[in-house]
Chain A
Amino acid sequence: MIPSFKKFNSRFNFAFIDENTKREIRRKLLKAICLPGYQVPYSSPEMPIARGWGTGGLHVTLSVIGKDDVFKIIDQGSDASVNACNLRDFVHRVTHCRVTFDTHAATLIQTRHRIPEEQLNDGQILVFQVPQPEPLRAVERYETKTREMHGEADYARMWVSLYEAFVRYGDIMQGAGYPVMVNGRYIMSPSPIPRWDVPNLHQSDCLYLFGAGREKRLYAIPPHTDVVPLEFDDVKFRIEQFPGIRCSLSGTGGAFMDELYNDLGHFRHVINDSDFLDKLVEHKTRPQQWSNKYLQQVLDEMNANPDLES
């Protein structure tokens, strides 16, 4: 007979993270808010979720969450994605907080790669999972140097890189994760959200918090802060275009679309934001969207051609 071990310890704290680390993350989130767009280094302890799968988002979520919060999490715009399901289950398991799919009902929303289509209000916090917090990494691989560049607000190489893309391809080719200037001081990566979402970072009512776990950085955009996508006088930032395209489930447009392919290789479009689509289809209501000039233009065009079908 092999003797058994007496006991194994597997208790954990409310919201999983120990109180010391929570305090550290909280202090650094405050610093991040005081320095909009600046990346604050933090300890980023391991989580029982793999690096690159939302550990930074979880650090932020679990450090700010309280018993009365209503938690929502989306991945690529969907409440249903396996990773969103997994993280929702984890957060619920360690906090017993209420969870929801309803964007409006949530007080705390964690997201990977999207801002909900429905406008967020001043009682809400949106937490972004960030894979690469450093917007300058593509033009400078060394952290020591990018730190200096941010310190000196020396962004010449970033501008040159955008301009080179324009010269070569006739446009700024950056897709998701379009770099923005925050509060006129720091260039920041908005995380790989589509350009469609980027204008909603500007002068919002809600608070945006960003967590990059593997890279061990936190940053923030407070409400009512200027957030401007990088552009030139003659080459402008533009959002993704879905000209004349309607969602095959709701019949409407004016929202970021997914392309779905069937077995025959045919494709159709469906609105990406699962909760927004639910409300359109099930409740026959169009939730209040963000107001920004890019979206307004899309909606104006859509309303001018109401009969267009995809």
Chain B
Amino acid sequence: MGYVAVKGGTDAIANSIELVEFYRIKDETPPIHIRQLQAQFRLAIDKIMGEGSFYAPEYGALALKQVEGDVLEAAFIMRAFRATLPRLYYSAVIDTRNMFVQRRISSSFRDIPGGQILGPTYDYTQRIIDTRLADESYEQVQAFLQQFSARISETDRKAITTFGKVIDMLRAQGLLKGVGNRDDESEEGRRLVDITREAIKFPAPRSARLQMLARAETGGLMALGYSSMRGYGGVHPTVGELRVGLVDVTVSDPTGRSRYIGRVRVTEAEMITKAKTGKKSERSAGSVPYYAIGYGLCFGQNETKAICMGILDRAMRNGTKEAPANDQEFVLYHTDGIEAMGFTNHLKLPHYVTFQSGLNNVRRAVARSKKQAEANAASAPEPPMATDATASPGDAERMPSEVLTEL
């Protein structure tokens, strides 16, 4: 055992972990079963799966329970766990036209083929706190479910099919163009990267950008997406189509046969914006305006996220960095919740060596300027010219800041 109380740190951690456990269960209420969490905290778990980039609702429920309901912390646990799993297959491309649709709306048209389907949404629930839920009983749950299923007609349920896409109508009329960005048309731009297997390089191909957005933190995406709509960048899109539903996931086995491995719920947003018609020189007389889409897709039902993904996908193709939302590096480096949270919290780690190193410089600089001021006072009544930058009295009052980042 060393002189410094090494055991102290270990003991402190052990005690802290014990305290966490105590606070989690100290009120002696019945433990929450993760099946209950999975069933009744669906949207929290959707968020955890999306940001954790790991589709496993039961693990999401477990993670949520483990961290007392902190969604971002739970997503972190999911990411760490997923990193231990081998990448065995890449799934086949999913065509969301084949989605089993639970909700589907378009704000671009009053009516769309197949119809607007409001589905489950909190949008029109009126956010009045529901005091009846305070004493919700199992009997009430059963009564509601019985009454609800009695109203469902089996024949109607079986009649549900798939729906064509709104953007297909625009495309058929020649009003919608491809993503139309030079970087994305290049070979590198079209490369399908796996951001979990390689670090992102800039300019990042669109596949990498969309993957990063799909794992990004909802709040972060919302802040940047909102900034673009509000005026910093000017993407003000229309919801071409927003759909939530189940899609089948298949992989190819070693013999090349397609194998069904399960269904995942996803939210997909296709945001329509008017696109500029190329460079100024190309925008001469006769050039035709057209629409372009911004695309968002994430695990679970998380419409805010899918919409903001769509806005940012579009904004990042703008080709200028005049607004934060247009700037790939800015958007992608700063919206990963797991990374941002970790780095923010690392400030709690001791930094006394780093601080001492800076302190040493500042003390020397202050001493230097004091000495200089004394010398000036002794030799001449006039203060030195402001251009004497090495040691003007003004500088003495200012704390010298570090030149470079120190972390």
Contacts and interface: CB of A to CB of B under 8 A. Distances in A.
Note whether A and B contact each other (Cβ less than 8 A): yes
Given A175-B360, A214-B339, A282 B3 contact: yes
B391 A5 contact: no
Interface stretch (B6-14, B95-103, B106-114): B6-14
A146 to B, nearest CB: 10
Contacts of A174: 361, 402-404, 406
Interface in B1-29: 2-6, 8-10, 12-13
B12 A52 contact: no
Contacts of A137: 404-405
Given A131-B346, A173-B365, A2 B196 contact: no
Interface in B35-87: 35-36, 58-59, 62, 76-77, 79-87
Contact of B9 (A24, A82, A132, A139): A82
A12 to B, nearest CB: 5
A164 B338 CA distance: 36
B346 A52 contact: yes
Given A12-B84, A52-B342, A80 B404 contact: no
B390 interface: yes
Nearest to A256: B353
B400 A168 contact: yes
Residue of B77, B391, B407 with most partner-chain A CB within 10 A: B407
A5 B3 contact: no
Nearest to B347: A52
Interface stretch (A36-44, A219-227, A297-305): A36-44
B356 interface: yes
A42 B391 CA distance: 45
Contacts of B8: 80
B262 interface: no
Question: What band does the interface of chain B fall in when counting residues whose beta carbon is under 8 Å from A?
Answer: 35 or more
A169 B392 CA distance: 9
A76 B344 CA distance: 18
Contacts of A167: 389-390
Interface in A167-181: 167-177, 179
B332 to A, nearest CB: 10
Contact of A86 (B13, B33, B403): B13
Interface of A: 2-5, 8, 10, 12-13, 16, 18, 20-21, 24, 41-48, 50-53, 55, 75-86, 89, 101, 112-114, 131-132, 135, 137-139, 141-144, 161-162, 164-165, 167-177, 179, 192-196, 214, 216-217, 240-241, 249, 256-259, 272, 274-275, 277-278, 281-282
The 5 closest A-B pairs by CB, nearest first: A51-B342, A52-B346, A175-B358, A50-B342, A41-B199
Given A41-B201, A80-B2, A241-B360, 11 more contacts: A18-B86, A52-B339, A75-B350, A82-B12, A85-B13, A143-B333, A170-B391, A173-B361, A175-B406, A257-B356, A259-B359
